[in-house]
Structure 1
Amino acid sequence: MIQSVNPTIKAIAVLIPGILLSFAFDMITPLIFLIYILVLTLFFTHIPLKKWLLFFVPLSLFAIGLAWMTMLYTDESYNTGPVVFQFLWFEITSGSFQVGISLALRSLCFISLSLLFALTTDPTKFMLSLMQQAKLSPKLTYGILAGYRFLPTFKTELNLIRQAHQIRGVQRTKGLRQKWQNNKQYIIPLLASSIRKAERVAIAMESKGFTGERNRTFYHQLTVSKKDWIFLISMFVALCFAFFISDQLGFLRLIGQD
């Protein structure tokens, strides 16, 4: 399953094909690659379908809206061909229609790739993999990991501050402007609490002998196995296959081509 793939290899397998796909300006190439990503997500992950749709559907609506605006305001060099349909005073030509659909499909590919990585990757293992495989500085990775671990505590701290204000009889007013003014009262206490926690973590790490050196041992040792390379190669093969099929069908169009 994709959950067991090394996080660094998975990040490369998601990032580079996504960048290369952005150069395709036709509809067939992103469509084929999108189908491949959806097959991976549905059959080779343990992501609950309901959870995946909860993220995918709102983001896909954004992609559709972006494609619609592209159709209405396409550059003149692409706004060619016969008129497909007319909306108010806008005439949607076949050229602008293809550009809009291509943009929507590419956006859906980016969304699917992002969800594939985010929903199948443990943040702690990702940070450890960046240190072990990508040789990223431990100071940076442990700092990011500590900050990520602190995020859930901010909500608890905020609730405590609000309850303290209510006990002390601080007046709460309605309205967006007044709420913004009241929220300013939370900034200093939250900042002070964050500084205290950061100092405690720094003292604890220093007491345990953390120096930030790259040559260190790890309790959880992550490795790159054969299945990781298979996953990476399969992503590039699928993208090359999409480009090849699109070219054979005569639809392939790269950015900058006339």
Structure 2
Amino acid sequence: MISSINPAIKAIAILIPGVLLGLMYDVMTPLLYFVFIISITFLFTTISFKKWIKMFAPFLFLVLGLAWMTMLYTSGRFSGGDVLFHIFMFEIQVGSVLTAISLALRSLCFVSLSLLFALTTDSTKFMLSLMQQCKLPPRITYGILAGYRFLPTFRQEFDTIRKAHRIRGVGRATGIKERLHQFRRYIIPLLANGIRRAERVAIAMESKGFTGDPDRTYYRELKVKKRDWLFLLMMVGVLLGIMVLSYYLGYFNIMGYKIKP
């Protein structure tokens, strides 16, 4: 299962294809790799389709809007070919449509890769992996992890402050001036509570030996196993194989330069 892969290796396996896909401007390469990502997402993870589609759908609308604007304002380097149709003053050419589709598919690949990592990775294990495998200083990683743990409490405190204001007769803001005043009433208590909590956490961490020493020992040690390297090889190897296939089929296009066999 992908959830058992070492988080640092998994992040590298997600990052390398993302960088390579950013250079691809053809339709075939991101399309086939997107199908591959969807396949491993539902074959080798326990992510439910309903949860995945809820998180994926907002990005889909964003990608469609981005593709639409790209089709209308494609630069002369990437546009070209026959004119397919007109939209107001814009001439939509074959090159513009292909560039927009390629951009949309690459964006969908980025989103699906991000969801694959986010939904199968434990934040604590990821921080430990960054310290143990990537040698990131503990002072930074534990600070990030502590800040991440604060996010749910900020939401709870915000709801508590808002309910307390309503009980005391403070109504909802209607105009811009009232909204700014309301924002100040909310943000000052939140910042004060956040500072106090950060001080308590810092004192507690120092008392328990979290001094930022890079030579510290770990209760939970994460190791890189053979399956982690196999996952990295699979994610990068499949993309390279698709790029070779696109090259021999005559679709390969890198940074706007079409390369044919």
Q: How big is the shift at 1:173? A: 3.1
Q: Residues 87-126 of structure 1 correspond to what in structure 2 (within 5 A)? A: 87-126=87-126
Q: How big is the shift at 1:237? A: 0.6
Query: Cα RMSD (Å) of the superposition?
Result: 1.4
Moved more, 174-183 or 130-139: 174-183
Q: How big is the shift at 1:30? A: 0.7
Q: Residues 9-24 of structure 1 correspond to what in structure 2 (within 5 A)? A: 9-24=9-24
Structure 2: 5+ residue stretches without partners: none
8 Å CA contact 2:10, 2:232 repeated in 1: yes
TM-score, length of structure 2 as denominator length = 0.94
TM-score, length of structure 1 as denominator length = 0.95
Structure 1: 5+ residue stretches without partners: none
Instruction: Give the aligned partner of residue 86 of structure 2.
Output: 86
**Distance in 2 between the 1:128 and 1:82 partners?**
54
Q: How big is the shift at 1:247? A: 0.3
- Does residue 76 in structure 1 map to residue 94 in structure 2? no
- Helix, strand or coil: the match of 2:257? coil
Q: How big is the shift at 1:160? A: 2.1
- Deviations 1:52-71 (CA, angstroms, capped at 9, x unpaired): 00011210121111111111
Instruction: Give the aligned partner of residue 43 of structure 1.
Output: 43
**Distance in 2 between the 1:187 and 1:194 partners?**
10
Please tell me the residue identity of whatever aligns with 1:252. Answer: F
Q: Residues 109-188 of structure 1 correspond to what in structure 2 (within 5 A)? A: 109-175=109-175, 177-188=177-188
Moved more, 135-144 or 52-61: 52-61
Instruction: Give the aligned partner of residue 200 of structure 1.
Output: 200
**Distance in 1 between the 2:239 and 2:172 partners?**
56
Q: How big is the shift at 1:172? A: 3.6
Q: How big is the shift at 1:185? A: 0.8
Instruction: Give the aligned partner of residue 215 of structure 2.
Output: 215
**Distance in 2 between the 1:245 and 1:61 partners?**
30
Instruction: Give the aligned partner of residue 244 of structure 2.
Output: 244
- Helix, strand or coil: the match of 1:76? coil
- Helix, strand or coil: the match of 2:45? coil
- Helix, strand or coil: the match of 1:25? coil
- Deviations 1:31-85 (CA, angstroms, capped at 9, x unpaired): 1111111111111111110010001121012111111111111111222111123
- Deviations 1:181-233 (CA, angstroms, capped at 9, x unpaired): 21211111111101111111111111112211111111111111111000000
**Distance in 2 between the 1:174 and 1:150 partners?**
30
* Residues 1:64 and 1:190: Cα distance change in structure 2 (over 3 Å): same
8 Å CA contact 2:78, 2:256 repeated in 1: no
Q: How big is the shift at 1:166? A: 3.1
Please tell me the residue identity of whatever aligns with 1:158. Answer: F
**Distance in 2 between the 1:245 and 1:68 partners?**
28
**Distance in 2 between the 1:9 and 1:103 partners?**
27
Aligned length: 258
Taking only the aligned residue pairs, the percentage that are identical comes to 57
